[in-house]
């Protein structure tokens, strides 16, 4: 008698991808609530092998991979990739819908091909004619870029086995699906399987692999979180779609410090590098003194950025004062206001406070604390801040101004951009070698306010 075998299913966490035999309310790995979804488990038995070809080696014996990395020639991209794309390296580029991931990928494909490398662009989301239309708009001739519209994992793997490419780009990993699973593309099991197989193949064959991964605001099914563990480097492509600039931000890099960023501008002919990042976010070159506006200095990775931070303080019309922060964390703003009220006696509880970082850039640098407070007090007191003064410093809970990192880079960049004065933490003062800018060291918030606002 023939019995029908029931398809075996398992429950996968949509946040971290952990597998559970039964449904439960909370994932046992990452503790996320209500994140388990049922999917067909992989068919086939686990086989035990009696012999193996894997062979452990002493670390000293392992030969250095002498192959050189690939440089695209697009400085901002190379920087976030740690200087070069290494053979076998796997990169995940995540970003919200429509931010420009495919544009970046196509331009990267073109850049690598111009360096004489063979590039394969696998698109699962767009037809080849759509890709061609974009390529024409971006001015990409793509002589050495091979494009294919494919979504089947086994087909892609066999294609990669047949011909050798130096760089393989997949747009996007959510569209790739394997025959071993019944679940639709984009589900946790499919995404994880596709990423696993492609990454393994990249390491074995030696091509560099760049995957595009979708993120949604809700952190929906099989967002890059599952993938982040698998790949070497994770980069987020972000920016405000109403703004022209786009930021490539590294969140993980297995071989380099993960704090670099790359800055691009988006226009009809695609992404162009921002060549003057340090002054890109300054509102004008001819700097005048204004109320509630301060120039702050922060170091993103090893690059100094000078940014306008602005504040508007008005009397609260209703019971609860409003705190609205653009570009920084709202909690951070509340904390800074609490310090200002408690340590310097400014009446913040009766005022609405709005702050924003120019250009809508999102920053979490502690060096922004002091300039934000200066901007807030300047607006509150209606007194201008000198536009030729740069302010940097982290603020502690007791109102002290703490030292920040990379002070020398900031000081020399500020001098280069023509700032006259730099207000900085006193603890940093002795480390600054730049002599062409007036340095004012401050110990606490009140001293800084006295010096800058007067
Ligand atoms: N003709 C154009 N002129 C200016 N900007 C354009 C033009 N066409 C597209 N763009 C920009 O490119 C963006 C879309 O880029 P792209 O398709 O690379 O995004 P994506 O991140 O791949 O999106 P998806 O998530 O849908 O794949 C648009 O949001 C728009 O800002
Ligand atoms: Mg796209």
Specify the pLDDT at position 170.
Answer: 95
pLDDT(356) > 80:
yes
Give the CA-trace dihedral at 379, 380, 382, 384, to 10 degrees: -40
Q: Which atom of ligand 1 is nearest to the CA of 237?
A: 21
- Comparing 422 with 238, the larger pLDDT belongs to 422
- Mean pLDDT over 286-301 rounds to 84
Do the domains at 69-275 and 280-452 have one common CATH topology? no
213 Cβ inside 6 Å of ligand 1: no
Tens of pLDDT along 41-92?
A: 665 555 566 666 777 878 877 776 656 789 998 888 998 888 889 999 999 9
pLDDT surpassing 80 at residue 222: no
Percent of the chain exceeding pLDDT 90 equals 48
Q: Which of 107, 212, 266 to mutate to test the pocket of ligand 1 (most atoms within 8 A of CB)?
A: 266
From the CA of 360, how far away is ligand 1's center (Å)? 19
Task: Report which protein residue has its CA nearest ligand 1's atom 25.
Answer: 97
- The per-residue pLDDT for 250 is 87
Question: What distance in angstroms lies between residue 126's CA and the mean position of ligand 1's atoms?
Answer: 12
Ligand nearest to the CA of 101: 1
The answer to whether the CB of 133 is under 6 A from ligand 1 is no
Residues 306-319 have a mean pLDDT of 90
Distance from Cα 246 to the centre of ligand 2, integer Å: 15
Of 36-40, 103-107, 352-356, 416-420, the poorest mean pLDDT is in 36-40
Among 105-109, 184-188, 199-203, 255-259, the least confident range: 255-259
**Using alpha carbons only, what angle is made at residue 206 by residues 205 and 212, rounded to the nearest 5 degrees?**
100
- pLDDT category, 215, cuts 50, 70, 90? confident
- Give the pLDDT band of residue 31 (cuts 50, 70, 90): confident
At 238, list the tokens.
């972000």
User: What's residue 44's pLDDT?
Assistant: 55
Question: Does 130 score more than 90 pLDDT?
Answer: yes
Six-digit token pair at 175?
């569209």
Strands 145-149 vs 119-123: parallel, antiparallel or unpaired: parallel
217 vs 122, more confident? 122
**Distance of CA 36 to CAs 26, 187, 407, Å?**
8, 11, 47
Ligand 1 atom nearest residue 106's Cα: 18
Residue 146 sits at φ, ψ, to 5 deg, of -90, 130
Minimum mean pLDDT among 48-57, 145-154, 294-303: which range?
A: 48-57
308, containing H or E segment: strand 303-315
434 lines ligand 1 (CB under 6 A): no
Which atom of ligand 1 is the closest one to the Cα of 104?
18
d(CA 165, CA 144): 10
State which of 58-72, 101-115, 263-277, 281-295 shows the largest mean pLDDT: 101-115
How many helices (H) and strands (E) would you count in the chain? Answer: 12, 23
Q: What is the mean pLDDT of the chain?
A: 86
Least confident residue range of 1-10, 79-88, 91-100, 240-249:
1-10
Each domain of the chain, given as residue ranges in start order, spans 9-40, 69-275, 280-452
Distance 126 CA to ligand 2 centre (A): 8
Strands (E), 157-302: 167-171, 208-214, 233-238, 245-253, 261-267, 270-273, 290-291, 293-300
Closest atom of ligand 1 relative to the 97 alpha carbon: 25
Q: What is the pLDDT of residues 360-399, one digit of tens each?
A: 778 888 999 999 999 999 999 999 999 899 999 999 999 9
Q: Structure pTM?
A: 0.80
CA of 125 to the centre of ligand 2 (A): 7
pLDDT at res. 18: 80
Please compute the mean of the pLDDT values over residues 149-163 and round it to a whole number. Answer: 92
Among the bound ligands, the one closest to the CA of 99: 1
Tell me the best of 96, 97, 103, 133 to mutate to test the pocket of ligand 1, counting ligand atoms within 8 Å of each CB and taking the most.
Answer: 103
Assess whether the C-beta atom of 103 lies below 6 angstroms from ligand 1.
yes
Which pLDDT does position 149 carry in this prediction? Answer: 94
Q: Which residue has the tokens 């984009």?
A: 186
The tokens 């039964």 sit on which residue? 22
CA 133 / ligand 1 centre spacing (Å): 12
319 lines ligand 1 (CB under 6 A): no
Query: In the prediction, which pLDDT does 364 show?
Result: 84
Pocket flag, ligand 1, residue 101 (CB < 6 Å): yes
Q: Is the confidence at residue 145, as pLDDT, over 60?
A: yes
Assess whether pLDDT exceeds 50 at residue 221: no
Q: Residue whose CA is closest, atom 12 of ligand 1?
A: 100
The pLDDT of residue 189: 81
Q: How high is the pLDDT of residue 43?
A: 57
Cα 281 to ligand 1 centre (Å): 23
Q: Is the CB of 125 under 6 A from ligand 1?
A: yes
CB of 135 closer than 6 angstroms to any ligand 1 atom: no
pLDDT over 50 (residue 223) = yes
Q: Does residue 413 contact residue 407 with C-beta atoms inside 8 Å?
A: no
State whether the beta carbon of 243 lies less than 6 angstroms from ligand 1.
no
Band the pLDDT of 4: cuts 50, 70, 90.
Answer: very low
69-275, which class in CATH? alpha beta
Q: How many Å lie between the centroid of ligand 1 and the Cα of residue 100?
A: 5
Question: What are 238's strand-pairing partners?
Answer: 247
Q: What's the pLDDT score for residue 49?
A: 63
Ligand 1 centroid, distance to 138 Cα (angstroms): 11
Work out the average pLDDT over 173-193. 86
Q: Whose CA is nearest to atom 8 of ligand 1?
A: 268
Q: Find the range with the poorest average confidence among 67-71, 145-149, 269-273, 442-446.
A: 67-71
Per DSSP, the three-state class of 290 is: strand
Nearest CA to ligand 1 atom 3: 268
Ligand 1 near 269 CB (within 6 A): no
Please tell me the distance from the alpha carbon of residue 123 to that of residue 131, in angstroms, as a whole number. 8
Q: Which residues contact 132 (CB under 8 A, 6 or more apart)?
A: none
Q: Identify the CATH number of the domain defined by range 280-452.
A: 3.30.230.10
Contacts of 47 (CB under 8 A, 6+ apart): none
Band (152; pLDDT cuts 50, 70, 90)? very high
Q: What is the pLDDT of residue 64?
A: 66
What is the rounded CA–CA span in Å between residue 49 and residue 337?
64
For residues 314 and 379, give the distance between their C-alpha atoms in angstroms, rounded to a whole number: 8
């Amino acid at each position: 008698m023939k019995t029908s075998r029931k398809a075996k299913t398992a429950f996968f966490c949509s946040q971290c991808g952990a597998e559970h035999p039964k449904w439960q309310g909370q994932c046992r790995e990452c503790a996320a609530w209500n994140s388990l979804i049922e999917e067909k488990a992989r068919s086939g038995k686990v086989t035990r092998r009696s012999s193996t070809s894997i062979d452990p080696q002493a670390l000293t014996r392992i030969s250095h991979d002498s192959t050189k990395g690939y440089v695209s020639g697009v400085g901002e991209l190379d920087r976030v990739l740690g200087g070069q794309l290494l053979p076998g390296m796997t990169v995940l580029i995540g970003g919200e819908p429509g931010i420009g991931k495919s544009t970046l990928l196509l331009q990267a494909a073109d850049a690598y091909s111009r360096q004489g490398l063979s590039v394969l662009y696998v698109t699962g989301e767009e037809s080849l004619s759509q890709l061609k239309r974009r390529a024409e708009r971006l001015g990409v001739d793509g002589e050495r870029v091979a494009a294919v519209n494919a979504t089947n994992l086994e087909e892609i793997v066999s294609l990669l086995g047949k011909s050798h490419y130096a760089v393989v780009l997949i747009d996007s990993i959510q569209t790739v699906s394997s025959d071993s699973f019944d679940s639709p593309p984009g589900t946790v099991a499919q995404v994880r399987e596709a990423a696993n197989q492609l990454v393994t193949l990249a390491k074995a064959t030696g091509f560099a692999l760049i995957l595009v991964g979708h993120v949604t605001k809700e952190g929906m099914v099989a967002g890059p979180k599952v993938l982040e563990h698998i790949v070497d480097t994770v980069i987020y492509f972000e920016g405000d779609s109403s703004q022209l600039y786009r930021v490539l931000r590294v969140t993980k890099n297995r071989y380099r410090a993960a704090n670099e960023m790359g800055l691009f501008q988006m226009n009809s002919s695609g992404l162009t590098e921002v060549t003057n990042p340090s002054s890109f976010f300054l509102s004008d070159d001819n700097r005048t003194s204004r109320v509630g506006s301060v120039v702050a200095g922060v170091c993103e990775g090893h690059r100094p950025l000078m940014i306008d931070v602005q504040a508007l303080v008005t009397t609260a019309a209703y019971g609860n004062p409003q705190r609205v922060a653009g570009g920084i964390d709202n909690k951070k703003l509340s904390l800074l206001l609490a310090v200002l009220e408690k340590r310097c006696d400014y009446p913040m509880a009766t005022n609405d406070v709005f702050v924003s970082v120019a250009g809508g850039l999102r920053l979490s640098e502690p060096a922004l604390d002091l300039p934000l407070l200066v901007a807030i007090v300047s607006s509150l007191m209606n007194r201008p801040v000198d536009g030729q003064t740069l302010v940097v410093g982290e603020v502690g809970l007791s109102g002290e101004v703490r030292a920040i990192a990379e002070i020398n880079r900031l000081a020399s960049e500020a001098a280069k951009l023509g700032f006259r004065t730099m207000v900085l933490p006193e603890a940093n003062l002795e480390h600054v070698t730049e002599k062409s800018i007036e340095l004012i060291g401050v110990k606490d918030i009140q001293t800084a306010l006295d010096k800058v606002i007067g």
